[in-house]
Amino acid sequence: MKRVLSVVALSACLTLGAQAEAPKAAGAKTEVTQTKEQGANVINLAGKQRMLTQKMSKEALFIAKGIDVKANTEALKKTEALFDKTLKGLVYGDKELKLPKTTNKDILAQLEKVSELWASMKKSIDVVAGGKADKKALEAIAKENLPLLKNMNQAVQMYAKASGSKLSPEMAETINRAGKQRMLTQKMTKELLLVANGIDADANKENAKKTGELFESTLKDLTAKCKDDKIKAQLDVVAKLWADYKDIIVKADTSDASLKKAEEMNIPLLKNMNKAVKMYEASAK
């Protein structure tokens, strides 16, 4: 059955129509005109979207637990707005974010899926941001955040493989993996908060442990393969922060003291991992 085109899909049709009219566009991908810098930035910001799906879920769960409600409510609103702005920027282009318009029809189709999933989850995020962190909204967020994450991740993989920029496949994959680490800092914290809020607690204890293990193994691999001393030094900063946070995640410790420490530590861990990603991105120029 034919689906009604969303705004994203309409953009794809308009873009492809414009390509068909251009003599040089026939059978060619516009992405080949991207510079290294543009290619790296697209992969970075598309990758950052994965993290934002987890960050806003985590913030909603902190609010539900009554932890620093005012600050987390403001953070949730900003995270939501940034995700929405970046998603639109990936489709239409955004000068402020330095995002070129996406013209690859397959990636646009994938972004349409992301847009549809986001429209559904956004309703529950708005409920919590509006001061009503009820069980229905939390359970909806718990259910919907992973499909949104997975479909955004698929889009990132597509950008990494088919962006057509001058960025080497190896560097594209490194930026992708390092960017995924940002997401894992928020995913593991979200899973800890799901346990604390009594949502599928046993499964999320195991999920938190697995996410922590993946973060650690990827960090070690990135460090071992890094040939840039400055980036390696930044990865060492991340490793030290992780060493201090690891036990809370692996043990799924939801005591008041540990939840407070989780709130204090997850953002520095995220920011320092993000700094490493930006260093990788800068090295690709």
Domain-wise residue ranges, the chain: 7-15+35-161+169-283
Q: Give the largest CA-CA distance in the chain.
A: 64
Please give the helix or strand (H or E) that residue 23 lies within, else none: none
- Calculated CA dihedral for residues 154, 157, 158, 164, nearest 10 degrees: 170
**Where do runs of H (alpha helix) occur along 197-255?**
201-225, 229-250
Q: What is the crossing angle of helices 201-225 and 169-196, to 10°? A: 150
- Cα 188 to Cα 192: distance, rounded to the nearest angstrom: 6
- Cα 220 to Cα 238: distance, rounded to the nearest angstrom: 11
Residue 143: φ, ψ to 5°:
-80, -40
As a whole-number percent, the residues of the chain with pLDDT over 70 amount to 86
Residue of higher predicted confidence among 223 and 160:
223
Q: What pTM does this model have?
A: 0.84
Q: What is the pLDDT of residue 79?
A: 98
- Cα 167 to Cα 115: distance, rounded to the nearest angstrom: 27
Q: What is the pLDDT of residue 31?
A: 42
Q: What would the mean pLDDT of 160-172 be, rounded to a whole number?
A: 74
Task: Please provide the average confidence, as pLDDT, over all residues in the chain.
Answer: 88
Q: What is the pLDDT of residue 81?
A: 98
Question: Lowest-confidence range among 4-8, 68-72, 149-153, 239-243?
Answer: 4-8
Q: What is the pLDDT of residue 166?
A: 63
Question: How do residues 93-122 score in pLDDT, each as one tens digit?
Answer: 999 999 999 999 999 999 999 999 999 999
Residue of higher predicted confidence among 36 and 174:
174
Using the 8-state DSSP alphabet, how is residue 99 labeled? B
Q: What would the mean pLDDT of 214-231 be, rounded to a whole number?
A: 97
